[in-house]
């Protein structure tokens, strides 16, 4: 079954895997799947404004963000891999692609989550998503050199950007994360550098939950207080049952 | 579970439920679900060219199409309801809407399949889809008078038009229908008035099957000769598992 | 100046002018503009589920919705015109178009607000928006018979549907309604039949306010607790200053 | 007020700020705003065909284009900064991004104008627009090293490409530039290397003016001979008044 | 060859066939093709403002518009059929559809020209285009009753709306009409009720001509002063040569 | 006439010119045009899975792919130029752009065929298309240094990706290749490394042929067994005849 294969989440910055995919990560971990996070940068320049204003050095800031990310990952039950590829701007390099291909092959993911193609507020996000989708295709080819076996064709889902309506993001999957909601909240609270976002993403989880209830058929039996995360599917869903 | 609730397929003409949703119908029936077909017209004017050229009368043609549709529905395991609302053009009337609302309430569908919003080759198709989606919303409201209990919010899928690439149709769900493929072929062969389409839709089933294999993750285990039908989802998928 | 000319809001149901445009209405009224609401139906069938379940008659329900709408309009400072054209489904008739053309000509609006072109959850909404935009064009033509002078070309804004991300709604105008926020809240609280929506639209007002702050240039000086409503502009903005 | 903050125009080549944004520049300058032009290249390869055919050297051509641009900028009342980053192709480099970030921070713009995302006839244009939007986001982050204070979130407008209808350009802002039209004409006439375009852009200014009149509400009072420039807004407009 | 079969132009109002398709009509006629115009209304309410202001009656206005249209059609070499279906609003009726189907079958067109699907300034235009495309499909079916033989599948082109950039119109065909340009100018001058548009459409013909030159390959040999009309193709082009 | 000027096909990998444009190439050659293929890589990593699995070296694989491509090109009547720029990933370099500009100038193509802008299954394809379109624009500018005369503005067509419906590919040109179909089949059979695709592309040629018949007007006279290739036009078609 699909839940046996690992979940792989590829993000530009540490916060992204918490705010946008923390529920999916916690749920995978709770169900016994391996939950792997590829964090391409520490968000050291673009998402650490307070630390810079407080006069921290680049290395200090990276250390803080790394520690926060590790704590959050631990709460969610995921293992986090840092690529330290730099942010603002994050740019593809041959080395980054190669490392990511190797991670894909080592993890052999059953599902991949990453950034959507547009975010006019943060150009690292679409770039990270592009790199993640590209590395997935490269990892399928025996001719692309690197350790590990080639991978299959795991489905890819884009998680929700911060301002979805003006980023061309259409949520076509609402993931019920009610069973792990408390865990996601705890992980969000560990993100000290971006603490102001906890309330925002708590409201979002509730709102997507309401929409999940409103859009679900008669048989799902979602609870009154459903919490959800929104995703956009990149490749067609393959299923043996319409629901 | 979702498969306990009935499947409802709303089509403009008799052929549509066979070519475009025959696999989904047969699969539902095989799994013990009620499979209901709402056929808004007999396709008597727009899809019966040979009969008109052969000098048949309107009533004769309707009788032939009705008989074909009943045979095909029986093969698929579905029950077919005829609305005889006329075709070429099919037009919404208050009576048609009301009858369809009553069918929704009687059937209480868990899933609805109908036409996609565009088809530049056949204007009855988008009109039938629009009516089907509209009646579904009306059937949810206690204030809309009619027998039967209001319905919930069953997911809606648009099936594939005849020339998808120039009808703005993007398949985002590939339904594996391998287990009922022979049944779909038998139903297609019962459509005497449109027999030239059997080969076309056999090839399509094979091609969508190849794509299902190519787009499926490592865990689905699809067989070598997979057959599939393509759909487009109207409302967001609600799920407790990404796959 | 533009704020001298009246504001005209055309909605399918009573609630729509409160949830979606209540801030714009209150703001216009506070600034001394005439604020006119054209309410095409009472939402008697589609938005009064509880009343139907409680066994009320059609006329009783209309009376309740009318009373609520009048109270809300009074709080907002607007005058409401009821067209009683029926809902679920709302349909264009020659009489409805003619009445609306006459209202346009009597009001001579400087700005028009109405529904956006898509809402897969409520087909009355796009229909009302289509009728509103159509009547505006008809009201410009001397050849279209009716009392009153022809109108100019007032800008049209679509207000936000209930589930914007899956209704193709892209907010391109964020209207700061902070100064009248309390008034909008009071009007929302007067909508007894749909009281469960007050919290939802309070959160939305706050969220759009945060986005307004995040998207505003350095000179607007928005307060910390900004509240906003989102709109989509139908015709190009004409301005003598980029900002 | 918004007009106190400077206007910043980022273009790929010298001609672009004249043909596409000359009115906005002249208007800002006339109203006492600082009007700054960041010209990423001299258009020395892609927009100087006649000079190459006449056997000029690369340096001679740059000198001519620089001189033309300086003259045009002076007429418009703007100050022009040359980045000499090369054209045909123009490519992002870390140095170019850094220099542009520094200019943003020095200028502290209230409004930014640049190229739209598509132009199938000139690939430097979308690249320059992408770089300009990217640098604006980088300039907001304290963690991105460089002199000067971080900037806020100035609105961004894309100006009109040469063949808008086949470049996916939808004008959603029409800027009335009637009061500075003569100045724009004078600046256009200073562009010797592309003199054949003066008539084209004179007609365009007139046509956009007619559309501005046709799309303006009853209160703007535009003159009979209105001239306008078309823009597309990148982020939602934030306003305290719908008009 | 394609030019032997007649050209059929279906328009909402008399002016449309002159401004938008006059070149195609004149060219067909000059080459010996039959050029037929189906004019669904006289534009008596929506495009005759001056006459209404001058106090003319409905019948007088229709007579004037009919006379203008006949003169223009004669200049262009076309035969015009009036359907007198009313305008502002133009609405589909069973009778109008039937009459149009009969015209299609009588004319047996090789090419069809009509309105594009969007025009936010004039709702009769998209309605006429929709009716024209619908009638073409009905005319292909032997089961749709009416005199004349069924037609084949003539290609359909949408001509250019008045404000293309804000009507979603993407010109993908530029028709060189240089050889009949003088004839189009003469026909435009015969449209007394809308004389203010002659200059506008003269400029447009010139501008589209410039674009035709700029987009044509090396072998077409277009003259310096090329005039063109823009179209959008509805169905895929079928050709035995790419050019 | 257009068919005198050469045809230039720019592809990422050897197979692409056979599967996607083999008919156009053979047709050009049969009609006496020069048919040139620019093959940017050997597909050595991304499209040679079997060879890698069989333990071949990189150079061996390149040799095999080169030989296959040369054989296929010879069958089609085309001359193939290899750029050996590497695949998986294929990346733009200044050298690659320069070489391609020189080829454009040497060939002076009348028509250009290349990849479409999207292919979520193979990122080399959109990259190759982007490079091809970019080099075409650079080759038009006298200021871009390199041997040969500048080129005009040859029309560009994108050929069909492997999964068109999920790659945003809308076929708007169907090229009748019936007369050279056998030659295309022979060329496909020469592609040993990808032999499993012969059946797929044979079916596609048949299906596009059926659609060509269905979409062609009454005068083209296509044979019963028409074969076709689908294309998407990048720039507007310029023509002196609508058909």
Looking at per-residue pLDDT, the higher value among A221 and C102 belongs to C102
> What is the rounded CA–CA span in Å between residue D81 and residue C73?
55
- Crossing angle of helices F181-189 and F22-30, rounded to 10°: 130
pTM of the model: 0.96
Residue A95 with chain F: CB contacts under 8 Å: none
- Crossing angle of helices A94-107 and A124-138, rounded to 10°: 60
> What is the rounded CA–CA span in Å between residue F37 and residue A155?
35
Is the Cα dihedral F175, F180, F182, F185 positive or negative?
Answer: negative
> What is the rounded CA–CA span in Å between residue E110 and residue E113?
10
By CB atoms closer than 10 A (0-12, 13-18, 19+), residue C102 is: middle
pLDDT value, residue F193: 65
Q: How far is C71 from chain A (nearest CA, A)?
A: 29
**Banded model confidence at residue C219, pLDDT cuts 50, 70, 90:** low
Query: What 8-state DSSP symbol labels residue C120?
Result: T
3-state secondary structure of C21: coil
**Banded model confidence at residue A230, pLDDT cuts 50, 70, 90:** very high
Whether the CB-CB separation of C225 and C176 falls below 8 Å is answered with: no
Residue F219 scores a pLDDT above 70: no
Report the candidate in D187, D168, D171, D52 with the shortest Cα–Cα distance to residue D119: D168
Is the Cα dihedral F2, F3, F8, F11 positive or negative?
Answer: positive
Contact E165 D170 (CB under 8 A): yes
Q: Which two tokens stand for residue C239?
A: 């301005």
> What is the rounded CA–CA span in Å between residue D12 and residue D127?
8
> What is the rounded CA–CA span in Å between residue D25 and residue D29?
6
The pLDDT tens digits for D42-67 are 999 999 999 999 999 999 999 999 99
Report the candidate in E107, E92, E115, E113 with the shortest Cα–Cα distance to residue E152: E107
Which residues lie across from A81 on neighbouring strands?
A38
Name the residue with tokens 């190459």: D52
Residue C153 scores a pLDDT above 60: yes
A164 close to B (CB below 8 A):
no
Question: Sheet of D173-176: strands edge to edge?
Answer: C237-239, D173-176, D228-233, D156-159, D111-114, D7-11, D35-39, D79-82
**pLDDT mean over B222-229:** 91
Give partners of C (≥3 CB pairs < 8 A): A, B, D, E
B110-124, D63-77, F191-205: lowest mean pLDDT where?
A: F191-205
For chain D, 243 residues long, the average pLDDT of each consecutive 10-residue run is 79 96 98 97 94 95 95 98 98 97 97 98 98 98 91 96 95 97 96 82 95 81 90 97 93
pLDDT value, residue E2: 44
Please report the beta strands in D49-208, taking only residues with DSSP state E, as ranges in sequence order.
Answer: 79-82, 111-114, 156-159, 173-176
> What is the rounded CA–CA span in Å between residue F185 and residue F22?
9
B58 close to A (CB below 8 A):
no
Residue B137 with chain C: CB contacts under 8 Å: 121-123
Report the candidate in E177, E183, E227 with the shortest Cα–Cα distance to residue E207: E227
> What is the rounded CA–CA span in Å between residue F77 and residue A163?
53
Residue F3 scores a pLDDT above 80: no
- Crossing angle of helices C58-76 and C181-189, rounded to 10°: 160
Cβ neighbours of residue C80 under 8 Å, at least 6 residues apart?
C14, C17, C37, C39, C69, C70, C73
Residue C118 scores a pLDDT above 90: yes
Query: What 8-state DSSP symbol labels residue B44?
Result: T
C240 close to D (CB below 8 A):
yes
Report the candidate in D48, D12, D23, D90 with the shortest Cα–Cα distance to residue D191: D48
Do the chains E and D touch each other, judged by at least 3 C-beta pairs below 8 angstroms? Answer: yes
Q: Which two tokens stand for residue B124?
A: 């009855």
> What is the rounded CA–CA span in Å between residue F201 and residue D140?
51
Query: What 8-state DSSP symbol labels residue E20?
Result: T
**Banded model confidence at residue F105, pLDDT cuts 50, 70, 90:** very high
Percent of chain A exceeding pLDDT 90 equals 88
Report the candidate in E94, D188, C125, F52 with the shortest Cα–Cα distance to residue A145: F52
Cβ neighbours of residue F92 under 8 Å, at least 6 residues apart?
F127, F130, F131, F134
Average pLDDT, chain B: 94
Whether the CB-CB separation of F157 and F2 falls below 8 Å is answered with: no
Contact C211 A163 (CB under 8 A): yes
Tell whether omega for the bond before B177 is within 30 degrees of 0, i.e. cis: no
E98 close to B (CB below 8 A):
no
- Note the ipTM here: 0.94
Whether the CB-CB separation of C172 and D233 falls below 8 Å is answered with: yes
Percent of chain A exceeding pLDDT 70 equals 97
Average pLDDT, chain C: 94
How many residues comprise chain C?
243
Residue D152 with chain C: CB contacts under 8 Å: 217-218
pLDDT value, residue F224: 82
Q: How far is F65 from chain E (nearest CA, A)?
A: 28
D91 close to E (CB below 8 A):
no
Residue F6 scores a pLDDT above 50: yes
Is the Cα dihedral B40, B46, B47, B53 positive or negative?
Answer: positive
pLDDT value, residue F1: 40
> What is the rounded CA–CA span in Å between residue B126 and residue B58?
24
> What is the rounded CA–CA span in Å between residue B92 and residue E224?
53
CA dist B187 → B26, B36, B179, F62 (Å) = 10, 15, 15, 49
Distance between first and last Cα of chain D: 18
A46-50, C169-173, E99-103: lowest mean pLDDT where?
A: A46-50
| Among candidates F134, F235, F236 on the partner chain, residue whose Cβ is nearest the Cβ of D89 | F134
Which residues lie across from C130 on neighbouring strands?
none
Best of E135, E137, E156 to disrupt the B interface (most B CBs within 10 Å) is E137
C-alpha count within 13 angstroms, C-beta hemisphere, residue A56: 20
Which pairing describes strands C111-114 and C156-159: parallel, antiparallel, or unpaired? parallel
Q: Which two tokens stand for residue D155?
A: 């609105």
Residue B170 with chain F: CB contacts under 8 Å: 165-166
Query: B168: nearest CA in chain F?
Result: F170
Query: B149: nearest CA in chain C?
Result: C53
By CB atoms closer than 10 A (0-12, 13-18, 19+), residue B231 is: buried
Average pLDDT, chain F: 94
C-alpha count within 13 angstroms, C-beta hemisphere, residue A42: 20
**pLDDT mean over A206-210:** 94
pLDDT value, residue D218: 63
Distance, CA of B179 to chain centre? 18
Query: C59: nearest CA in chain B?
Result: B143
The tens-digit pLDDT sequence of chain E (243 residues) is 444 799 999 999 999 999 999 999 999 999 999 999 999 999 999 999 999 999 999 999 999 999 999 999 999 999 999 999 999 999 999 999 999 999 999 999 999 999 999 999 999 999 999 999 999 999 999 999 888 899 999 999 999 999 999 999 999 999 999 999 999 999 999 987 677 789 999 999 999 999 999 898 765 678 889 999 999 999 999 999 999
Contact E171 D165 (CB under 8 A): yes
Do the chains D and B touch each other, judged by at least 3 C-beta pairs below 8 angstroms? Answer: no
pLDDT value, residue B219: 58
E7-231 is classed CATH 3.40.50.10320? yes
> What is the rounded CA–CA span in Å between residue A114 and residue A9?
6
Query: What 8-state DSSP symbol labels residue A220?
Result: S
Contact B166 F166 (CB under 8 A): no
Percent of chain C exceeding pLDDT 70 equals 97
Contact F236 D45 (CB under 8 A): no
* Range list of H helices, C20-148: 22-30, 49-53, 58-76, 94-107, 124-138
Residues 210-239 (B) with a CB less than 8 A from some CB of E: none
Q: What is the 3-state secondary structure (H, E, C) of F175-241?
A: EECHHHHHHHHHHHHCCHHHCCHHHHHHHHHHHHHHHHHHHCCCCCCCCCCCCEEEEEECCCEEECC
Report the candidate in A100, A106, A172, A173 with the shortest Cα–Cα distance to residue A137: A100
3-state secondary structure of E112: strand
Residue B2 scores a pLDDT above 70: no
């Amino acid at each position: 079954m699909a839940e046996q294969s690992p979940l792989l989440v590829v993000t530009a910055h540490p916060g992204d895997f918490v705010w946008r995919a923390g529920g999916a990560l916690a749920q995978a971990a709770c169900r016994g799947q391996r939950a792997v996070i590829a964090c391409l940068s520490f968000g050291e320049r673009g998402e650490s404004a307070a630390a810079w204003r407080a006069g921290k050095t680049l290395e200090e800031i990276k250390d803080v963000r790394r520690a926060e990310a590790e704590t959050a990952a631990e709460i969610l039950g995921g293992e986090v891999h840092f690529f330290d590829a730099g942010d603002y701007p994050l740019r593809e390099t041959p080395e980054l692609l190669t490392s990511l291909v190797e991670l894909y092959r080592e993890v052999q993911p059953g599902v991949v989550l990453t950034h959507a193609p547009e975010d006019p507020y943060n150009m690292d996000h679409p770039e990270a998503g592009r790199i993640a989708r590209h590395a997935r295709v490269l990892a399928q080819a025996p001719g692309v050199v690197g350790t590990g076996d080639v991978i299959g064709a795991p489905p890819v889902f884009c998680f929700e950007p911060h301002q979805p309506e003006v980023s061309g993001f259409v949520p076509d999957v609402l993931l019920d994360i009610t069973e792990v909601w408390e865990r996601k909240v705890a992980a969000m609270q560990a993100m000290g550098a971006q603490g102001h976002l906890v309330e925002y993403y708590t409201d979002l989880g509730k709102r997507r939950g309401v929409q999940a209830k409103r859009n679900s058929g008669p048989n799902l039996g979602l609870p009154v207080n459903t919490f959800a995360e929104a995703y956009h599917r990149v490749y067609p869903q393959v299923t043996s049952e319409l629901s």
